[in-house]
Structure 1
Amino acid sequence: GYRRLWAELCKLDYVISENKTQKLCQKLGIQVTCFGHRNRTYKSYKGEIGKIASNLIRRRFKTSIPHQKITTDTTEFKYYEYDSAGIPRIKKLYLNPFLDRYNSEIISYSISKQPTFRPIMEALAQAIEQTKDCPFRRTFHSDQGWAYQMKPYVNTLKDQKIFQSMSRKGNCLDNAIMENFFGILKQEIYYGHTFNSYDELKQTIEDYIEYY
Structure 2
Amino acid sequence: MYWQKRLNRGNPDAKLEETIQEIFEENDGNYGYRRIQIALNEQGVKVNQKKIRRIMRKLGLKSVKFTRKSRKYNSYKGTVGRVAKNRIHRRFVTSVPHQKITTDTSEFKYYEQDTNGKPVIKKLYLDPFLDLFNGEILSYRISEKPNAKAVLDAQKEAIEQTADCPYRR
* TM band (smaller chain): 0.5 to 0.7
Aligned partner of 2:96 in structure 1 is 65
C-alpha distance in 2, partners of 1:60/1:135? 19
Structure 1 stretches of 4+ moved >3 Å: 39-42
Unaligned runs of 5+ in 2: 1-69
Question: Residue 107 of structure 2: SS of its match in structure 1?
Answer: strand
Percent of paired sites with the same residue: 62
Aligned partner of 2:73 in structure 1 is 42
Question: Residue 126 of structure 2: SS of its match in structure 1?
Answer: strand
C-alpha distance in 1, partners of 2:135/2:114? 39
Q: Which has the higher helix share?
A: 1
Deviation for aligned residue 1:40: 6.6
Question: In the comparison of the two structures, how many residue pairs are matched?
Answer: 100
When the two structures are superposed, what TM-score results if normalisation uses the length of structure 2? Answer: 0.56
C-alpha distance in 1, partners of 2:76/2:92? 22
Unaligned runs of 5+ in 1: 1-38, 139-212
Aligned partner of 1:96 in structure 2 is 127
C-alpha distance in 2, partners of 1:115/1:127? 19
Question: Residue 132 of structure 1: SS of its match in structure 2?
Answer: coil
Deviation for aligned residue 1:136: 0.7
C-alpha distance in 1, partners of 2:82/2:71? 27
C-alpha distance in 2, partners of 1:42/1:70? 23
Q: Aligned Cα RMSD in Å?
A: 1.5
Aligned partner of 2:118 in structure 1 is 87
Show the 5 A alignment for 1:1-212. 41-138=72-169
Question: Residue 152 of structure 2: SS of its match in structure 1?
Answer: helix
> Which structure has the bigger radius of gyration?
2
When the two structures are superposed, what TM-score results if normalisation uses the length of structure 1? Answer: 0.45
Deviation for aligned residue 1:117: 1.3
